[in-house]
Structure 1
Amino acid sequence: MKNIIKYIKISACILMLTSCDAYLDKQPDDAMTMEMIFQKRASTQKYLVNVFSYMIDESHTAQNTPWLGASDEASITYIDRGYCYMNNGSWSPDNPPYVAFWRAYYQGIREANIFMQNVDKCPEINFEEKLRWKTEARFMRTYYYAMLMRMYGPVILVGDELIDISSTNLGKERSTWEECMDYICTEFDEVADILPEQQETTWYGKPTKGAALALKARMLLYSARKLYNSDDSFYKNIISTEGKHLFPQSYSEDKWKLAAEANKAVIDMGIYDLYKAYATNGSIDPYKSYAGIYLELWNNEVIFGRALSGKDWRLVTTPRGIGGSSFGGVSATQKMVDAYAMKSGRYPISGYTNEGKDPIIVENSYSEGKFQTITNPADGTSYANTNTMYKDREPRFYVSICWSGEKWKAGSTTIDVQFYNKGNSGPGDSHNYSKTGYLISKMTDHSLNHKNNEFGRFSWPICRLGEIYLNYAEALNEYDPGNEDILKYINLIRQRAGVPNLEEVYPEEVKDPDKMRQLIRRERQIELAFEGYRFFDTRTWRIAEETENGPVYGMNVMATDHTPTGKFWQRTVVETRVFSKKHYLFPIAQEELDRNKAITQNYLW
């Protein structure tokens, strides 16, 4: 038993897209027949691991996914990656990036169906274990559908059929969005009735009741947002080959109610809590608390997640100057840096002029371009001649952002990070550098010596309670504004983060649902930064034409120094992105359309 979960916890969940062949897809000389596989416990169990193995390792963000690289929270320096083509608008059905997601998830669905239809044949497994394993495979099937839907919208529902999605005569149309939502919500509800509330320690990483309910709650929130819930949807006229409207035709407030109830159901389980670490005086330490979500494996905030090797994430977020094999090319944008509140809890920048270059600074909140000695409150380190834009920010800023001139600690090694041209982590003669003059320190364990390639492991939360609180507050604000739970759960997030309650900082704004909506979105942007949420948030809110389109700013890393008089501190365009209405959903690859004549393409593709 311990061996199998070892695969699930470590190996099966960090595979690359092309690394897992189906268990049956072996050469004839070593193939096992179906009957042989499901006669033995060990081979049956191995097949279940195969069902899990189609999960994408989303922590390998510089390679596997576009969730950071094509989001306004980050800019990645590496070229010829899928997010590069998404950002410059050159992708199309003929050359769609991340097309392997479609194939991998449908292969996972097929493997889950094969397992569910055959596990009962195994004479070496008792009824209870068969039911549990079958339910886990059913959960994974539903999970794969949810992952497809967030990318493509409505998808092909195959039920229990053993469909090969690459068949040249498949002839299956996409189901409507509402049919897809009804299906996955029913499936998640039914598996939640069977799955345990908590797995034993040996089985951490396998699905639970909370994981099923949390994923259902997230998808209901997405479905309630404007992309799928609007009277002015540009998807209205997409008619399937079966004569159905693939997308919802009108706004429904009830969707927000369903989303609120679903997220509250996860909270009401009462078995999860925000991760907190405490100072010697008994107060919450906001720095260790926020960092600990990712550094404390399997902590009680994680509803569904993975304990992963830190290598892929930390290689690309550690400054090159630390030595070893660090690349340091996944950087926070200036807009993301600007988003963090001050320690007072107020947001210092209310907008931009000059095509997003010049910030509109809230009076008496923040200064930029002045230089003085400041102290990083996360570790007490002082920095001379430091830009005052990094002074007096909230704790999550100091946990998450590395700026030029900051000290980067890696075990016994410490460097002064230099993101300017020819600096130890700047462009110079290397393509491994930060385009924006920032790196992401969130999820980094600074006790490990990255110079010696010590990357350790970290907790990657697929679902965590902090998200559920934010989901619940957002949904409530849309259908029951003024409900006291809105501030209650937003404030629980802020209290853990060491900033004042929202009503103390914005006493009038919290009374206005429209202004409260923006405050909730900002809190979500900060709390869930760099975890892969922002990409889908801006799209389902239907604001990506503003947030993902046009110039992306950072510091001027091509300047040769960052002394107080240096040009490094000028806000500079690091890339210019293209986003139009068709980009809200991924295109279905032309080769899939060629194989399956019944399927309808997404809007404008």
Structure 2
Amino acid sequence: MKLNKILLPITILFFIAGTVSCESYLDKEEDLPMSFPKIWEKRATIEQALSNVWGYMTSPDEMVDGHPFIGASDEGSATYDRAYRLINFGTWNPSNVPYQKWAQYYRGIREATIFMQNAPDAPAADLEDVEREQWPVEARFARAYYYYQLVQLYGPVMILGDELLDFNLSIEELQRPRNSMEECVEFIISELRECEKHLPVEQTPQYYGKPTKGACKAIISELTLFYARPLFNGNKLYANIRNQDGKELFPGIANVDMDRWKAAAAAAKEIIDMNEYELYKVESNGEIDPLKSYQGVFLELWNNELIWARYKGGYYARVHTTPRIAGGVAYGGVSPTQQQVDTYAMSNGIYPITDYNPDGTPIIDSRSGYDEDGFTNFEHPLDKGGAKRTYNMYLNREPRFYATVLWSGCKLPYTGSSAIVNFGFNGNSGGGISHDYPKPGYMVRKWTDPALNTSGGQWGNMTWPIFRYAEILLNYVEALNEYDPSHGDILKYLNQIRERAGVPNIEDVYPEAVGNQELMRELIRRERRVELSFENKRFFDTRTWMIAEEVDGGPMWGMNTSSSAPSPNASTTPEAFWERTVFETRVFEPKHYLYPIHQRELDRNELITQNYGW
């Protein structure tokens, strides 16, 4: 372990809080007590302008109000009455787009371009040479990141390059068509490659979170992987989507291009070969402690697995994933679905649930030792202090399960608390008494810091991972398996993740998967779903793999949270709770794979072609 790397390249450093706004620091020429040229005369106002460039970024921890990525994927549920419900039930349309990001990111793109064009020659005498050189590169990185965020949601978009649209022009003169998907991917990669030339491998401690070479490579890795997956590679649905002049927006999409998988593998391998990042590990008596290792990725600030992360106060992520019984302002409404709970392996490394019957009952791998019948006294490995009556479903699961999933009947996971959580109806953290409760009867434990006293308003700080090294390893093995399924690196790097997780090597558990591309594909996808759970990845994975019609639509399962506790605020979970129950039925149609472009944008720019099905 390279101790000098632990605190290195990692998140976005914000100089001003709360800068996500429809207004622009750089556009407020008439409102500011200074003219636009004066912004560039002092280092402080230039730095503020750079901060404003980053102010258009969607905060990754804002899983309720900022984005739908957890509440609108099959891994999770968010109980509140927010816009992601429109996505879940298929009741959205181009005039009612939840979490509309088109205008937000284009504002950020414009701010970045303005900064890039003015900062290098700024007359500020107190601006250091290194800042004059680096800050425009950071703005360029932000611009490329915003384009990538647009492409994730909408597919091909308008590439403006260094053009600043003159808003004094007529509406007709301002109209622009969408570029092709190929052009968008090439532009984003070329911009990041240019940034990479000028950004450091490591940032100094005072600038943790500013972009680095590794951050550039990580975006390229995820972008090239998504571009290789079925949504953009072999998807005939998009084959005939064209601009008004006949230009294809998805050229060649009907044919699978295997070179894209090769490019995705190469992009991930670049990061591995940097030797700058490693899986975070805690050792005890010379052996990896898988629970503390996995927990530590999310609890130890600036650890050396993080490639790019966001330094945040822990309030937002934790207030929504803390049971109500904790007191204070705990809302406790973000939770895993039963499908997500079923995904975790047993301690022997075997995935217990292989599929579901038409009635929703699980098909169980008999080798796993999994059992849904009865209860056993069990001591949670993170909650030492005595065995508790536990539903057998939760016994002998892999360590990441215990670090991620909080079920009814567990001890509240905070030091010094002896409260037992009850997610049943009228229970101390269930429905009936409050609308703040987890509909599936589980809660996300992954972001919990057990050392905090949340009832006293302690929420701590966190570094939310945007990209971390484990994802890069998973990107690499997935791409390798598609174009070279016999490659030895598949087992090597997949097993590195499993070793840290405390489960046996994949070939020891599934020897039949070695060289079997289809089975290995499924195992890699399962590993990704577990390892990267609740990190805003599953939403895009199900879409780019084109499995969302199967997994993001239809019944969403949990425990029976309508089962009543014997008395209000009781801590004992009722017996009827322990039954697989549908908590909602979602809708996913083929048109939902990509966001619709808002009707407002279509009305403003008649050259924009709407996405498929909308």
The TM-score normalised by the length of structure 2 is: 0.94
Matches within 5 A, 1:59-74: 59-74=61-76
Q: How far does the alpha carbon of each residue in 1:87-135 deviate from its partner, in whole angstroms, 9 at most, with x for none?
A: 0100000111111x11111111000000011112323234443221111
Give 1:117's aligned residue. Answer: 117
**How far did residue 300 of structure 1 move?**
0.6
Q: Which amino acid aligns with 1:588?
A: I
Alignment gaps of 5+ in structure 1: none
Contact 1:413 1:449 in 2 (8 A): no
1:440 equivalent among 444, 450, 460: 444
1:512 equivalent among 512, 516, 520: 516
**How far did residue 43 of structure 1 move?**
1.1
Distance of 2:306 and 2:29 partners within structure 1: 40
Give 2:557's aligned residue. Answer: 553
1:577 equivalent among 574, 586, 608: 586
Query: Do the aligned partners of residues 236 and 251 (structure 1) sit closer, same or farther apart at CA in structure 2, a change above 3 Å counting?
Result: same
Contact 2:424 2:573 in 1 (8 A): no
Distance of 1:112 and 1:234 partners within structure 2: 34
Matches within 5 A, 1:153-552: 153-163=155-165, 168-169=171-172, 170-230=174-234, 232-249=235-252, 250-279=255-284, 281-355=285-359, 357-365=360-368, 366-552=370-556
Give 2:35's aligned residue. Answer: 33
**How far did residue 419 of structure 1 move?**
0.3
Q: Which amino acid aligns with 2:605?
A: N
Q: How far does the alpha carbon of each residue in 1:557-590 deviate from its partner, in whole angstroms, 9 at most, with x for none?
A: 0101497982111111111100010000000000
Matches within 5 A, 1:116-155: 116-123=116-123, 124=125, 125-155=127-157
Contact 1:16 1:64 in 2 (8 A): no
Distance of 1:424 and 1:374 partners within structure 2: 22
State the secondary structure of the residue aligned to 1:373.
strand
Contact 1:409 1:447 in 2 (8 A): no
Distance of 2:177 and 2:607 partners within structure 1: 5
State the secondary structure of the residue aligned to 1:268.
helix
State the secondary structure of the residue aligned to 1:38.
helix
Contact 2:12 2:309 in 1 (8 A): no
Distance of 1:502 and 1:369 partners within structure 2: 28
Distance of 2:47 and 2:207 partners within structure 1: 13
**How far did residue 343 of structure 1 move?**
0.4
Contact 1:328 1:425 in 2 (8 A): yes
Q: Between the two proteins, what is the percent identity of the paired residues? A: 50
**How far did residue 600 of structure 1 move?**
0.3
**How far did residue 401 of structure 1 move?**
0.3
**How far did residue 551 of structure 1 move?**
0.6
**How far did residue 182 of structure 1 move?**
0.6
Distance of 1:179 and 1:477 partners within structure 2: 26
Q: Which amino acid aligns with 2:612?
A: Y
Contact 2:290 2:502 in 1 (8 A): yes
Alignment gaps of 5+ in structure 2: 1-8, 566-570
State the secondary structure of the residue aligned to 1:413.
coil
2:603 equivalent among 587, 594, 602: 594
Query: Do the aligned partners of residues 541 and 273 (structure 1) sit closer, same or farther apart at CA in structure 2, a change above 3 Å counting?
Result: same
Q: Which amino acid aligns with 2:599?
A: Q
Q: Which amino acid aligns with 1:159?
A: G
Q: How far does the alpha carbon of each residue in 1:488-547 deviate from its partner, in whole angstroms, 9 at most, with x for none?
A: 111110111111111111011232011000000000000000000000000000110001
The TM-score normalised by the length of structure 1 is: 0.95
Distance of 2:34 and 2:224 partners within structure 1: 41
Q: How far does the alpha carbon of each residue in 1:42-101 deviate from its partner, in whole angstroms, 9 at most, with x for none?
A: 11111111111111111010111100010000011101x1210000100000111111x1
Distance of 1:454 and 1:460 partners within structure 2: 18
Contact 1:154 1:176 in 2 (8 A): yes
State the secondary structure of the residue aligned to 1:385.
strand
Q: Which amino acid aligns with 2:92?
A: W
**How far did residue 11 of structure 1 move?**
5.7
Q: Which amino acid aligns with 2:581?
A: T
Contact 2:319 2:332 in 1 (8 A): yes
Q: Which moved more, 1:542-551 or 1:114-123?
A: 114-123
State the secondary structure of the residue aligned to 1:407.
coil
Distance of 2:248 and 2:385 partners within structure 1: 59
Number of equivalenced pairs: 594
Distance of 1:266 and 1:9 partners within structure 2: 22
State the secondary structure of the residue aligned to 1:308.
strand
State the secondary structure of the residue aligned to 1:500.
coil
Distance of 1:294 and 1:555 partners within structure 2: 27
Contact 1:302 1:461 in 2 (8 A): yes
Distance of 2:146 and 2:418 partners within structure 1: 42
State the secondary structure of the residue aligned to 2:465.
strand
State the secondary structure of the residue aligned to 2:80.
coil
Give 1:94's aligned residue. Answer: 95
